[in-house]
Amino acid sequence: MVNKRKSLPPSLTIKLGKWVWTTLWQIMMSRLAPRNNSGEYIRPASLFRETVSIQTENKYQPATKRYRLFVGLGCPWAHRTLVVRALKGLEDVISITIASPAGDKGIWVFENEQEGCQTLPELYKLGQPGYNGRATVPVLWDEQTKTIVNNESADIIVILNAEFNQFAKNPDIDLYPEELKAKIDEWNEKIYHTVNNGVYRCGFAQSQEAYEKACRELFTTLDEIDNTLSKSRYLCGESVTLADVRLFTTLFRFDVVYYGLFKCNLRRIKDYKYLSVYLQDLYQLPGIADTCNLEAVKQDYYGNLFPLNPGGIIPLTPDITEVIS
């Protein structure tokens, strides 16, 4: 018996498939990346903003082996804290726990139980009972009071730079010197909006207009930075500062992840005369290479950002020595 049932016309199949995928994509993106009415990605603010200080009234006092950093190796924001920890020589002072993204659950999980917790959301609820907000890395955790000190990377690196010098191997390294603070803050503000968060504004944009605006701003700033580096070794002169740390972790991921997956593909960092040398210079500073895990970066982005890479295929990339060159 001949089956006379006809298949859908190709054009209708394509239209139906496109409608289903677009609808699902919009739902998933709304959860992954909150946006405004123009389709621009809006990053939620960090909520835990306490500090560590020797001031007597401060409940979080500097101490060795009291605090722990919860980080993800693929996360550029968490990577900043590892870089400053390495530059200051705080490896024996601040402990580290690595969390990994569970793509199917959309949360960070621990390989081994921490404080009786298997996941980062559980740790947040331990630190603040009843908490139901976002659970992100990095986290500066106080093992004495079982609370979150801070989960804003920009704050944490300032804390690590200044508040543990009595225990640091490299106390004389000051990444945020008083005489350069205004210049560092100016660079940080620009780089955060157009580069650090700018790559996410490209990759998570939900309209063509939002994407193009973010992409143009990103490369305008990269061009400006390249010009600045033609005149000085680092952003604020001849010494590395927190501005360089904050830029480095984005540049390290750029050619492997943001260039393709996030559509930041006008130019690679490798195509810039001075930025490429600058990236290599920072990577070669003592201790920095040990904080860089290119395979974890690829796995975290390509393997877990399903709306951007639904096939889950992890691309082959050059050896890290070719990426950082």
Of the residues 41, 200, 283, 302, only one is catalytic, namely: 200
In the chain, residues under CATH classification 3.40.30.10 are 35-173
Superfamily of domain 35-173: Glutaredoxin (3.40.30.10)
The residue type at 47 = L
Residue 80 CA: distances (Å) to CA of 28, 83, 138, 152: 28, 5, 9, 11
Amino acid 162: pLDDT: 98
Of the residues 41, 75, 272, 301, only one is catalytic, namely: 75
Amino acid 7: pLDDT: 67
Catalytic (active site) residue 117: no
DSSP letters spanning 231-286: T-SBTTBSS--HHHHHHHHHHHHIIIIITTTT---S--GGGSHHHHHHHHHHHTST
Inter-residue contact 118 to 100 (CB < 8 Å) = no
The Cα–Cα gap between 198 and 214 comes to 6
**pLDDT by position in tens, the chain (length 325):** 555 566 667 787 777 676 666 666 565 566 667 778 888 888 889 999 999 999 989 999 999 999 999 999 999 999 999 999 999 999 999 999 999 999 778 899 999 999 999 999 999 999 999 999 999 999 999 999 999 999 999 999 999 999 999 999 999 999 999 999 999 999 999 999 999 999 999 999 999 999 999 999 999 999 999 999 999 999 999 999 999 999 999 999 999 999 999 999 999 999 999 999 999 999 999 999 999 999 999 999 999 998 899 999 999 988 887 888 7
SS3 call for 140: strand
The Cα–Cα gap between 46 and 22 comes to 30
Residue 109 φ then ψ, to 5°: -130, 160
Residue 266 φ then ψ, to 5°: -70, -40
What is the CATH code for 178-323? 1.20.1050.10
Query: Smallest Cα–Cα separation from 125: which of 139, 104, 112, 111?
Result: 139
Catalytic (active site) residue 41: no
In the chain, residues under CATH classification 1.20.1050.10 are 178-323
